[in-house]
Amino acid sequence: MQDQDKSSELAAQVREAAAHKQPLRLLGLDSKAFYGHPVDAEPLSLATHRGIVRYEPTELVITARAGTPVAEIEAALAANGQMLAFEPPGFAGQASLGGAVASGLGGPRRPWGGAPRDLLLGVTLLDGQGRILRFGGEVMKNVAGYDLSRLMAGALGTLGALLELSIKVLPAPKVERSLVLNVARDRALQLMRDLARQPAPLSAACHLEDRLYIRLSGNASSVAAWEKQIGGDGGAGNDFWSKLRNHKLDFFQSERPLWRLSLPPATPRLDCEKEVLTDWAGAQRWVYSSCTAAELRHEVAKVGGHAILFRHGDTETPVFHPLNHVGERLHRGLKKTFDPAGILNPGRQYAAI
């Protein structure tokens, strides 16, 4: 594993860009280049800024530089019986830790293991003036810094270039079992809701093409008891969950616009859901739709959700759910504070910010 601290060089690049008001496109290992609006700017690569800085398994915290491949992080954790609980996806390539947090995305385990923002204890970042700032730490004692760290998860680098991240890790389960039940979607939603209300050791729940996939994780006795109670067969193994996590299932191979809906789990099927993969026990839905963006977002907003045009969009449709007046004011205020010249990934998240 390469171990390189490029903080000084990266800071100098940002200061130079800020002096000339030169926009920068932040990238790590570029596995999520498709996500968000395209940025036409000089690249600022963090791929070589990598390495595990500190890892003490007994503390359940790992600190690593942003360019460190997620695969290297997970290998180090697995050697000590631990894991990144939000299962960051890699999609088309090898993901970096910084990109995993900046995207804010999580895999099938996220509802039970935690979102990136919930597990992020501290960050070191470069702001838009080339200053190195540190927020939070490796323990949750600096509440203000911890809250500022959380802002960076899902910000797509628009508030700063992540340099170093401290993340809470969790023990890996002793036993995992995957079950498959042949049920229609409405029945599957009900079953997932029922299981979520009980102390079942769920770690993933997905419905696709009249098949409900359930993953149980925990100690052997609990998993065995719930496996017997739920029934089904063991037709889904780790390969299914890996393909779901990284969008390698056949469902994701279409070139049509792919929508990611975040909804209250109990929400019944929406009119605009033409083809759907239901994940996170109903809370996340991957959808192909014949509705317009406005129609779909209106329907989603009525039930308290939001919709992201995740992939294969056009240049006219906003990728992220439009902000209300208060949300836009907050985003503009944060951008002005962290990146006053607006040079870091301008327009990547919201075209006008």
**pLDDT digit string, tens, across residues 99-113:** 999 999 999 999 999
Residue 18 pLDDT > 60: yes
* Chain length of the chain: 353
Confidence of residue 143 (pLDDT cuts 50, 70, 90): very low
Please answer whether residues 46 and 161 qualify as being in contact, where contact means their C-beta atoms are separated by less than 8 angstroms. Answer: yes
Range of the domain at 98: 7-171
Distance CA 294, CA 170 (A): 40
The confidence score (pLDDT) of residue 3 equals 82
Roughly how many angstroms between the first and final C-alpha of the chain, as a whole number?
A: 37
What lies within 8 Å, CB to CB, of 57 at 6+ separation is: 80, 82
Q: Which of 76, 66, 172 has its CA nearest to residue 120? A: 66
Say yes or no: 150 and 207 in one domain: no
Question: Region 138-167: what's the mean pLDDT?
Answer: 82
Q: Which of 267, 283, 353, 320 has its CA nearest to residue 115? A: 283
User: Which residue, 171, 188, 203, sits at the end of a domain?
Assistant: 171
Confirm whether 346 is domain-assigned: no
Distances (CA, A) of 18 to 27, 42, 331: 18, 12, 20
**pLDDT digit string, tens, across residues 259-316:** 999 999 989 999 999 999 999 999 999 999 999 999 999 999 999 999 999 999 988 9
What backbone phi and psi angles, to 5 degrees, belong to 124? -115, 130
Say yes or no: 38 and 84 in one domain: yes
Question: Region 18-28: what's the mean pLDDT?
Answer: 97
User: Which residue, 171, 192, 225, sits at the end of a domain?
Assistant: 171
The confidence score (pLDDT) of residue 121 equals 94
Confidence of residue 93 (pLDDT cuts 50, 70, 90): confident
Say yes or no: 106 and 164 in one domain: yes
Say yes or no: 15 and 43 in one domain: yes
**pLDDT digit string, tens, across residues 36-66:** 999 999 999 999 999 999 999 999 999 999 9
Sheet holding 61-65, edge to edge: 52-56, 61-65, 161-168, 120-126, 132-136
Distance CA 40, CA 42 (A): 7
Distance CA 85, CA 187 (A): 28
Strands 24-27 and 42-45: parallel
Confidence of residue 91 (pLDDT cuts 50, 70, 90): confident
Say yes or no: 167 and 256 in one domain: no
Residue type, 84: L
Question: Region 136-148: what's the mean pLDDT?
Answer: 60
Confirm whether 1 is domain-assigned: no
Say yes or no: 271 and 299 in one domain: yes
**pLDDT digit string, tens, across residues 181-199:** 999 999 999 999 999 889 9
Higher pLDDT, residue 36 or 2: 36
Q: What is the DSSP-derived secondary structure letter of residue 130? A: S
Please give the tally of structural domains in the chain: 2
Residue 140 pLDDT > 90: no
Say yes or no: 245 and 232 in one domain: yes
Distance CA 21, CA 56 (A): 41
At 247, is the secondary structure helix, strand, or coil?
Answer: coil
Q: What is the largest CA-CA distance in the chain?
A: 65
Question: Region 216-231: what's the mean pLDDT?
Answer: 96
Q: How many helices (H) and strands (E) does the chain have?
A: 11, 16
329 exposed, middle or buried (CB, 10 Å; 0-12, 13-18, 19+)?
exposed
Say yes or no: 45 and 84 in one domain: yes
Cα-based angle 206, 211, 216 (whole degrees, multiple of 5): 45
Joined tokens for residue 139:
């323990």
Q: What CATH number corresponds to the domain at position 25?
A: 3.30.465.10
Distance CA 137, CA 239 (A): 35
